[in-house]
Amino acid sequence: MMEFTKDLPHVFEKFRHHDIHSSDVLKGHWLFFEEPNYRGRQYYLRPGEYRRYSDWGGANSRVGSFKRVTDPQ
């Protein structure tokens, strides 16, 4: 289990794996991307519990990068 609070452009470089099987979004909204550097298919996660990758619409558990959605002002 890991906790993230900042954007991560390359999951594999940081943690030596790229599979995220579940997620619990406590605060804010996030985008998961299948590829590094915010590329590929993306998944929008609102606050809530995602017990398996299919709960956020993923076809598999591969996550290459993720970032927090911010409100442009």
What does residue 20 show for φ and ψ, rounded to 5 degrees? -125, 115
pLDDT tens column, 40-53: 999 999 999 999 99
Go through the domains of the chain in sequence order and give each one's CATH number.
11-69 (2.60.20.10)
Average pLDDT over residues 31-38: 96
pLDDT class of 18 with cuts at 50, 70, 90:
confident
Average pLDDT over residues 10-37: 92
Q: Indicate whether 33 pLDDT > 90.
A: yes
